[in-house]
Chains A and B, each alone.
Chain A
Amino acid sequence: MLFGVVKDIVIRFIFFLQALLLCFWWFEEHIDLPIWIRVIGRLHPAVLHLPIGILVFAIFVLLLRSELKKRAFRNIMMMVLLFASLTASITALLGFFLSHQSDYGADWLQQHRLSGILLSILCYLLLIGFERTQRTDTFFYATGGLAIVTVLFAGHTGGYLTHGQNFIFAPISDPRLHTVSNGSVYQVAILPLLERKCISCHNESKSKGKLIMTDLDKFRHGGKKGKEWVEGAPDKSRMVRYLHLPMKDEDHMPPEGKPQLTSSEIRLIELWIQRGPDFSTKVDDLNDGDSLKILSKMIGGQVSVAPVILYNDIRGASATTVAELNTPFCSVFPLYRDSPALQADFFIQQSYRPEQLSRLKAVADQLVVLNMNQMPVSDQDLETIGNFHRLEKLNLSFSKITGSGFKGWNGFGHLRSVALTGTAVTAENIKPLLAMPALEEVFMANTSINEAQRKQLAKLYPKVRLVVNDFVDNQTLKLSAPAILAEGLVSKGQLVPIRSAMPGVTIRYTLDGSAPDSIGSVIYDKPLSVSRPTFVRAIACKPGWYCSAVTEATIFPEGLHPVSATLLSSPDKQYPGEGGATLINGRKGFLDVYREPSWLGYREQPMEALFDFGEKSKPVSSMVVSYAHNLGSYIFPPAEIEVYAGASVDKLDRLVITKPRQPQKSEPTRMGILSVPLKSASHRYYKLVLKPVAKLPLWHSGKGSKGWVMVDEVFFY
Chain B
Amino acid sequence: MKPNTPIERLFNGIVKENPTLVIILGMCPTLAVTTSAMNGIGMGLSTTAVLAMANLFISLLRKIIPDEVRIPAFIVVIASFVTMVDMLMEAYTPALYEQLGIYIPLIVVNCIIFGRAEAYASKNGPVASLFDGIGMGLGFTISITIIGFIRELIGSGAVFGHPIGSLPDYMPSIFVMAPGAFMVLATMIVVRANIINHIEAKRGTRLPVEHTDEPGAQCSGCAFVGSCAGKFQKYEAEFKKEGENK
A, B from the same assembly: no
